[in-house]
Amino acid sequence: MMTQAFYTGLSGLQSTSYGIDVVSDNLANVNTVGYRGNTYEFSSLFEDSLSETSAMSSDSVGLGTRLQATPMTGTSGSYSTTDRSTDLAIVGDGWFGIQNGDNISYTRNGAFGFDRDYSLVTTSGEYVLGTMAGNISGNTLTSVQGYTPLGDVNTQEQLSFPQTLTYPTQPTTEVSFSGNLGDISSEMVTFSAGAIDSQDNINTLRLEFVPSTPQPESGVEWDVTAITESKDGTTVYDTQSGKVVFDESGLLVSSSLPTIDNNGTALSIDLGNGYDGVVSMSNLETSYSSSVNGIQSGELYGYDVNQDGDVIATFTNGMQSSVGKVAVYHFQNDQGLSRISGTLFAESSNSGDAFFYKNEDGENIIGTQMMNHSLETSNVDMTYGMTELIILQRSYDANSKSITTADEMMKKALEMDA
């Protein structure tokens, strides 16, 4: 029995020492971004029964304890605000995927940024995995996307983007006018608007309204000439003519003004209808307004990441487009992940394979809330950790004392034999 006391005390020392290591490691990472702490689980070793007929615990003697497991603590840490949109925090379940060579690991540390090659990377240089939008060809944006659909879990790749990116010109194809021509006593009324051509130039569309001669018996008629020319007026690209007819109340009845060429782009002219378009009323002042479609080209201003994980390219013309999406992975058993280092984990047979959540339409989604300009801090509670450390230290002292006591008993037993 005295020998058994040695073994019990030694196993207690060993188990408690492991527990102290776990808690100490947690406390050492209390300020580590995205750190998930571990807890400890002890189990009793087999017991020897003192009586074959008794099932009472007092009639059995234990053989000590051992460290059974060090499961990961699944609670989330708190969230701190940063000044970078590329700093991401997952609220709830999920993991970021990062790649180093051929190795893929998972982390809650969302302290990301763009490197010199405009790849989204961690602070230590690993590539962040996600889905590329596929709307970039060379250094030109081929289409504008509000968001990027998340691809399949096995098709995620490094999020790398060009250093220079051009938002292509979208030439003007329609110009809309509204306003009042006044009465037919005017010699000429002029409306104008800017129109973008396919070469990214802003040209001028000018409408010249002249009262028709003679006037119809009812209503009002104007002859209109449309002219497209360069902004400085030195080059005329096209001239078209037509007539606009208004009823007795001054509302537009018809317009025969055709489309006009704007340096290679067909331009339609919309004069509206009813009170929302061009009218001819003598009791109102002459005025007009115009609206056009089309966008001038723009150069890349920078990349940001929004709260949906979309990488957004912003251009000098004020336009934006999603060009990629940060992936968020999920596992059947997060505690089954194998810890590689403080904040890096790898999938294992216990965690199961990584997967994506799907919406009701069967589309892959990140399946959790994400915050940009934020980082998840360590989930270690300093107060709880210090308390556990004190308890374990006392347990260590108690086991040490039990060994000392067993040693003294052994010495006394040997002295009695002498």
CA–CA distance, 286 with 283 (Å, rounded to integer): 10
- Which residues are CB-contacts of 411 (< 8 A; sequence separation ≥ 6)? none
Task: Give yes or no: residues 143 and 235 share one domain.
Answer: no
Task: Give yes or no: residues 49 and 146 share one domain.
Answer: no
Task: Give yes or no: residues 193 and 264 share one domain.
Answer: yes
From the DSSP assignment, how many helices (H) and strands (E) are in the chain? 2, 35
Local structure of residue 125 (DSSP, 8 states): S
Task: Give yes or no: residues 228 and 256 share one domain.
Answer: yes
Written as six digits, the tokens of 121 are 């990377």
pTM of the model: 0.77
Task: Give yes or no: residues 181 and 231 share one domain.
Answer: yes
CA–CA distance, 152 with 144 (Å, rounded to integer): 22
**pLDDT value of position 42:** 60
Task: Give yes or no: residues 273 and 330 share one domain.
Answer: no
CA–CA distance, 418 with 395 (Å, rounded to integer): 35
Task: Give yes or no: residues 156 and 104 share one domain.
Answer: yes
Distances (CA, A) of 284 to 279, 281, 288: 10, 6, 12
**pLDDT value of position 25:** 74
Whether residue 155 contacts residue 134, with contact meaning beta carbons closer than 8 Å, is answered with no
Task: Give yes or no: residues 330 and 271 share one domain.
Answer: no
Domain limit, last residue, from 266, 292, 318: 292
**pLDDT value of position 125:** 93
Q: Does residue 318 belong to any structural domain of this protein?
A: no
**pLDDT value of position 175:** 98
Domain limit, last residue, from 240, 269, 292: 292
With residue 291 as reference, give the H or E element that holds it.
strand 287-292
Q: Name the residue among 209, 212, 200, 193 with its Cα closest to residue 268.
A: 193
- Which residues are CB-contacts of 348 (< 8 A; sequence separation ≥ 6)? 336, 337, 338
Distances (CA, A) of 86 to 312, 320, 323, 416: 11, 16, 14, 75
Distances (CA, A) of 74 to 35, 54, 256, 356: 11, 41, 71, 19
276: exposed, middle or buried (C-beta count within 10 Å: 0-12, 13-18, 19+)?
exposed
**pLDDT value of position 185:** 84
Task: Give yes or no: residues 140 and 226 share one domain.
Answer: no
Distances (CA, A) of 156 to 17, 124, 307, 353: 42, 20, 19, 14
**Residue 264 sits in a domain of what CATH number?**
2.60.98
Q: Does residue 129 belong to any structural domain of this protein?
A: yes
Task: Give yes or no: residues 198 and 258 share one domain.
Answer: yes
Angle at 45 between CA 39 and CA 49, to 5 degrees: 150
CA–CA distance, 182 with 281 (Å, rounded to integer): 5
Task: Give yes or no: residues 238 and 288 share one domain.
Answer: yes
Q: Does residue 40 belong to any structural domain of this protein?
A: yes
- Which residues are CB-contacts of 71 (< 8 A; sequence separation ≥ 6)? 38, 39, 41, 335
Written as six digits, the tokens of 326 are 């940060």
Q: Does residue 331 belong to any structural domain of this protein?
A: yes
Q: Name the residue among 223, 198, 221 with its Cα closest to residue 210.
A: 223
Task: Give yes or no: residues 65 and 44 share one domain.
Answer: yes
Going residue by residue through the chain (418 aa), what tens digit of pLDDT does each one get? 556 666 666 666 666 767 777 777 777 778 888 888 777 666 665 555 445 554 544 555 556 666 556 667 778 788 999 999 999 999 989 999 999 999 999 999 999 999 999 999 999 999 999 999 999 999 999 999 999 999 999 999 999 999 999 999 999 999 999 999 998 888 899 999 999 999 999 999 999 999 999 999 999 999 999 999 999 999 999 999 999 999 999 999 999 999 999 999 999 999 998 888 999 998 888 999 999 999 999 999 999 999 999 999 999 999 999 999 999 999 999 989 998 988 999 999 999 999 999 999 999 999 999 999 999 998 887 777 677 777 767 766 666 676 677 666 767 766 675 5
Domain limit, last residue, from 361, 376, 391: 376
With residue 371 as reference, give the H or E element that holds it.
strand 369-372
Q: Does residue 319 belong to any structural domain of this protein?
A: no
Q: Does residue 303 belong to any structural domain of this protein?
A: no
Q: For the chain, how many structural domains are there in total?
A: 3
Q: Domain containing 412: what range?
A: 2-74+379-417
Q: Does residue 98 belong to any structural domain of this protein?
A: yes
- Which DSSP string corresponds to 211-261? E-SSPPSSSEEEEEEEEEE-TTSS-EEEEEEEEEEE-TTS-EEEE----EE
Whether residue 417 contacts residue 6, with contact meaning beta carbons closer than 8 Å, is answered with no
Whether residue 88 contacts residue 371, with contact meaning beta carbons closer than 8 Å, is answered with yes
- Per DSSP, the three-state class of 386 is helix
